[in-house]
């Protein structure tokens, strides 16, 4: 009975008319769920070496979909930002985005140290950011600066470091185009999160954006980043699969 009550609370929490924040939580949850189904279906249609990449894309949006159902319910019941749920989502999905870089570059010499370094710095960014936003909010600027070290480490690897060099040395225009697009997600897409962080009470941009506006921005940003990230991976996997099929047919 308790499980049934929790299920109903998760999926049946009522949103009020004009609750635009709640609507973005709902749209986000459904968009993530639909994307998960799409990525898992497409996983069966790409070459074997791309199946793991498609699987990870589906896991990213699937994890996000579950958390967005919870966040929608939390918002509907409390009209407060679900900070803890959001960080739980990020600490699972953001490192998985870093795993994607390793998977697409593995065939071109990517080593596990690249994988673990990017996972470490992405986790550092989120854990330190969470502490600054919740436990040590009075010193949020300091903690935000420490968190940014993780972001810039990932940014460096993708734009200037070993990941960038591996993609450049691949001599594969399809991979290079996809890698560059993923890099723009890191640069432009991820930039929305530190901006939101600085807008919390006590932050450098405090008072400029309302908490409600921040949730809307976060929700839209999450959908664009996670679904868009997966679509780039899908496009890469589908293109390489078609290329491989064409080469085989020509032979």
The predicted pLDDT at position 137 comes to: 82
**pLDDT at residue 231 greater than cutoff 80:** yes
Averaged pLDDT for residues 80-84: 89
**pLDDT at residue 168 greater than cutoff 70:** yes
- DSSP label at 138? G
**pLDDT at residue 5 greater than cutoff 60:** no
CA gap 100, 97 in Å, rounded: 5
CA gap 81, 160 in Å, rounded: 36
Task: Give the range among 7-16, 142-151, 156-165 with minimum mean pLDDT.
Answer: 7-16
Residue 213, in any domain of the structure: yes
Residue 8, in any domain of the structure: no
How far are the Cα atoms of 75, 120, 135, 151 from residue 123, in angstroms, in the given order? 26, 5, 17, 10
CATH number of the domain that residue 175 is part of = 1.20.1070.10
Average pLDDT, the chain: 87
Residue 11, in any domain of the structure: no
Residue 95, in any domain of the structure: yes
Could you tell me the residue range of the domain that residue 99 belongs to? 18-243
Residue 122, in any domain of the structure: yes
Residue 128, in any domain of the structure: yes
Residue 132, in any domain of the structure: yes
95 falls in which pLDDT band (50, 70, 90)? very high
Residue 13, in any domain of the structure: no
Q: Which residue has the higher pLDDT, 16 or 147?
A: 147
Report the domain count for the chain.
1
């Amino acid at each position: 009975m308790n499980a049934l009550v929790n299920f109903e609370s998760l999926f049946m929490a009522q949103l009020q008319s004009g609750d635009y924040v709640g609507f973005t939580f709902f749209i986000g949850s459904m968009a993530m769920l639909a994307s998960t189904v799409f990525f898992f279906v497409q996983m069966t249609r790409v070459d074997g070496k791309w199946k793991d990449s498609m699987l990870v894309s589906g896991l990213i949006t699937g994890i996000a979909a579950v958390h967005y159902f919870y966040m929608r319910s939390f918002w509907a019941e409390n009209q407060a930002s679900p900070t803890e749920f959001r960080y739980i989502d990020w600490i699972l999905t953001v490192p998985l985005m870093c795993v994607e870089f390793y998977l697409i570059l593995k065939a071109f010499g990517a080593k596990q140290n690249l994988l673990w370094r990017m996972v470490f710095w992405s986790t550092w960014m989120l854990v330190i950011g969470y502490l600054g936003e919740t436990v040590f909010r009075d010193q949020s600027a300091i903690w935000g600066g420490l968190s940014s070290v993780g972001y810039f480490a990932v940014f460096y690897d993708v734009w200037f470091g070993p990941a960038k060099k591996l993609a450049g040395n691949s001599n594969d225009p399809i991979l290079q185009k996809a890698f560059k697009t993923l890099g723009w997600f890191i640069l432009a897409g991820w930039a929305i999160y530190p901006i939101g962080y600085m807008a919390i009470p006590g932050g450098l941009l405090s008072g400029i954006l309302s908490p409600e506006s921040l949730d809307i921005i976060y929700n839209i940003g999450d959908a664009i980043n996670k679904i868009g990230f997966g679509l780039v991976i899908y496009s890469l996997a589908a293109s390489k699969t078609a290329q491989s099929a064409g080469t085989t047919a020509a032979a």
